[in-house]
Structure 1
Amino acid sequence: MTTSTRAHSFNAAAAQYAENRPSYPPALLDAVEELAGRPLSGARVVDVGAGTGIATALLHARGADVLAVEPGAGMTAEFRRRHPGIPVVRGNGNALPVADARADFLTYAQAWHWTDPARSVPEALRVLRPGGALALWWNTEALDVEWIAEAAGRTGRFLGIDLVAEKQKAARHTDLADPSGRLRFTRREVRWSRRVPIDTHLANIGSHSAFLVLPEHRRTAFLDEERAHLLNVFPDGIVEETYDVLLLVAVTLTP
């Protein structure tokens, strides 16, 4: 299964993605501002890989002047439906459709790993103003929570993925984000949680690319089994998901 196939899988599930994916806590944007050394309010922000606009809407609500960049037709259409007042253009981080030195912030929520750093790092440096900040973040599962670790084990066995190893790999994103070393990232983790119905939790799982590319009958069978496991832990049908948001921020040099 190619990376491109997985990346494009979101377009057919854009509404499911928008309805069920977790957002991000206010403390995350507080940390972005702290590490960047400037507020988002009034800043020019380019949000790349914007998807359906989950992070873009939060940046806009902070008072930022946001331009969203999204490669997928389906995701862009869902973005426009949900956020008609925020501009969005088609494009990706490897070749940004943005003028030189336009942005105070360049943000990637759950999206930097879809880029090629050999191309996306120079593009970030081109688009950011001197002293501008590149901010990358990912919601990651809090595997120290017992039920989450057990669920991750089941999911990993089903997909043939060692999710604990993947979490450990994510911990090295500081190096992997820019193998060339041109950017110096500061790392922060922000823990938060949300309480959602089991149906929302399962739809969130099903909206990930590793599931979207599977035959529907296999995906459905796994999620039905997972529902039974979760009802043993959450008999009231409300799941408390706990996340550690991994945040990396690099500030470009001023002349």
Structure 2
Amino acid sequence: MTAPTHTARAHSFNAAAAQYAANRPSYPPALLDAIEEHTGRPLRGARVADIGAGTGLATALLHARGADVVAVEPGSGMAAELRRTHPAIPLVRGDGNRLPLASASVDLLTYAQSWHWTDPDRSVPEALRVVRPGGAIALWWNTSPADIPWIAEAGARQAAHFGIDVEAGGKPGSHADAADPEGRLGLVPRTLRWSRRVPLATHLANLGSHSLFLVDSEERRTAYLAEEREHLAKVFPDGVVEETYDVDLLIARTAP
């Protein structure tokens, strides 16, 4: 099959925003602890902009920590879901390549699962423009570790289905050299492992909310998920899947 375009995949989430919000994994408290440790300041009271906020999974965690957070989201469907579920959180429409924010206006910029949808030639200077001197920039992804046998096997099935290289253990741009090819940000990597236990139906709905599946034909997507259900029912006969994730965190502080 012809590989879907980057743009088609980026826009695919808007039609599945409710599915995304209901089934995607969030992030562990240790992630926010690591951000506070690296930046040397608490999130409480910090001015934070969450870029490519989607349905607000990370935004809500930052808000709960006491951050003065604003969500920035380009997609109409994702923004509508964020407004519906988190009406108290300010939201502005925009993307990481052209931030609708004043220069030196935030203490922390965050990009949860979103940096790889940006163009670093544009998003890097924009991030540096918006964050204040001595502030910080944090990018992170939930990735699926290939050292877990059932996850590696599932990744191989996806690669065969799509006819492309779908790595079980990574997201495009989740490593510093890919995220910031010119090294302007000085990103420092950290990895945090965590897991959640969810019903098999939730796991499959989570899987189906990923862009490669969203841009696939309904017939192919339905057939794949039915076969995946059969595979995983053998691995998890009680119907509860333990999803294991590595959060790949890249974080940098700007010069005072």
TM-score range, shorter chain: over 0.9
In 2, the alpha carbon distance for the partners of 1:176 and 1:146 equals: 27
Shift of 1:159: 1.3
Q: What is the one-letter code of the residue matched to 2:249?
A: L
Do structure 1's residue 117 and structure 2's residue 120 form an aligned pair? yes
Q: What is the one-letter code of the residue matched to 2:178?
A: L
Question: 1:160–1:179: structure 2 CA closer, same or farther, 3 Å change rule?
Answer: same
- The TM-score with structure 1 as length reference comes to 0.96
What is the aligned-residue identity percentage? 70
Question: 1:90–1:168: structure 2 CA closer, same or farther, 3 Å change rule?
Answer: closer
In 1, the alpha carbon distance for the partners of 2:66 and 2:232 equals: 39
1:29 equivalent in structure 2: 32
1:153 equivalent in structure 2: 156
Question: 1:106–1:170: structure 2 CA closer, same or farther, 3 Å change rule?
Answer: closer
In 2, the alpha carbon distance for the partners of 1:43 and 1:168 equals: 28
1:194 equivalent in structure 2: 196
CA contact (8 A) 1:51 1:70 kept: yes
In 2, the alpha carbon distance for the partners of 1:160 and 1:31 equals: 37
In 1, the alpha carbon distance for the partners of 2:168 and 2:137 equals: 26
SS at match of 1:51: coil
Shift of 1:167: 2.8
Deviation track 1:112-152 (CA, whole Å, cap 9, x = no partner) reads 00001111111101100001100000000021111111111
Shift of 1:161: 2.7
1:176 equivalent in structure 2: 178
Shift of 1:168: 8.8
2:142 equivalent in structure 1: 139
Do structure 1's residue 98 and structure 2's residue 101 form an aligned pair? yes
Shift of 1:64: 0.1
CA contact (8 A) 1:35 1:186 kept: no
Q: Which runs of 4+ in 1 moved over 4 A?
A: 168-171
Do structure 1's residue 83 and structure 2's residue 86 form an aligned pair? yes
Q: What is the one-letter code of the residue matched to 1:141?
A: S
- Structure 1: stretches of 5+ with no match in the other structure: none
Deviation track 1:45-77 (CA, whole Å, cap 9, x = no partner) reads 000000000000000000000000000000000
Superposed counterparts of 1:223-238, under 5 Å = 223-238=225-240
SS at match of 2:25: coil
Number of equivalences: 253
Superposed counterparts of 1:55-74, under 5 Å = 55-74=58-77
Q: What is the one-letter code of the residue matched to 2:253?
A: V
SS at match of 2:121: helix
- Structure 2: stretches of 5+ with no match in the other structure: none
